[in-house]
């Protein structure tokens, strides 16, 4: 099945308790999410199977933000933080703009914590084309503001592929995996503090995503999402 249609179809109306998709695993364990890695719930909705990749499997590769700032992915961007991670590319006219739009809603729902222990990272699938300058233009076009806790990241291709594999964004079918236009619409979110990691369709309800992310940190105050 076309992955774009898969995630679009099953994410529409998917509403399950946040606790149903949170899971903690051994630090050295790595798992890969594919369209087959799903669980059915009683109300017939579907969510991506919760996975934990373990803090030791998060690559510490160099990346550059849309502002031209350089970081090491694990040490600077993931360690001691709650993070949300997706993959995209600036010229994408299919799923990417919709994912970005939904992430803006999630960001708004989590505004009390964004940039203060909670961050969004969107990693380019086309690093040769998506220079920091192009990523900054994309951010400005979509209303992603500087200092808002959301970074668009460029990494060398080999490093990007390492991130994609180790964070669970690759699938076992090589032909499907190589087709960048069919890239997955999953959002990976978690925290290395508790080593809790999960995934959910990024085209799902923003309210559901925001609540699942809030569940990662019991100290975050609860309240209206919008």
pLDDT for the residue numbered 107: 97
Q: From residue 164, how far is each of 110, 133, 213 by CA, in Å?
A: 25, 22, 21
In this prediction, the residues of the chain whose per-residue pLDDT falls under 70 are 1-55, 176-177, 179-183, 218-226
Contacts of 7 (CB under 8 A, 6+ apart): 35, 95, 184, 185, 186, 201, 202, 203
Fold classification of 3-214 is Glutaredoxin (3.40.30)
Residue keyed to tokens 């209206």: 224
Domain positions in the chain are 3-214
pTM score of the predicted model:
0.73
pLDDT for the residue numbered 139: 96
């Amino acid at each position: 099945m076309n992955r774009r249609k898969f995630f679009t179809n099953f994410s529409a109306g998917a509403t399950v308790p946040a606790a149903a998709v949170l899971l903690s695993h051994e630090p050295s364990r790595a798992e890969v999410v594919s369209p087959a890695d799903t669980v059915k719930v009683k109300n017939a909705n579907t969510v991506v199977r919760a996975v934990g990749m373990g803090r030791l499997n998060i690559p510490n590769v160099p990346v550059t933000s849309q502002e031209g700032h350089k970081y090491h992915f694990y040490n600077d961007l993931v360690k001691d933080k709650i993070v949300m991670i997706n993959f995209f590319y600036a010229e994408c006219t299919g799923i990417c703009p919709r994912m970005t739009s939904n992430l803006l809603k999630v960001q708004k729902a989590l505004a009390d914590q964004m940039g203060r222990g909670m961050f969004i990272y969107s990693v380019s699938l086309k690093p040769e084309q998506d220079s920091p300058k192009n990523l900054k233009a994309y951010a400005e076009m979509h209303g992603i503001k500087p200092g808002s806790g959301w970074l668009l990241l460029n990494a060398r291709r080999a490093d990007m592929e390492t991130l994609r594999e180790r964070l669970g964004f690759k699938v076992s079918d090589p032909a499907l995996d190589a087709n960048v236009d069919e890239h997955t619409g999953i959002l990976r979110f978690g925290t290395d503090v508790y080593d809790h990691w999960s995934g959910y369709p990024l085209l799902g309800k923003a309210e559901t995503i925001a609540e699942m992310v809030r569940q990662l940190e019991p100290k975050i105050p609860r309240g209206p999402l919008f």
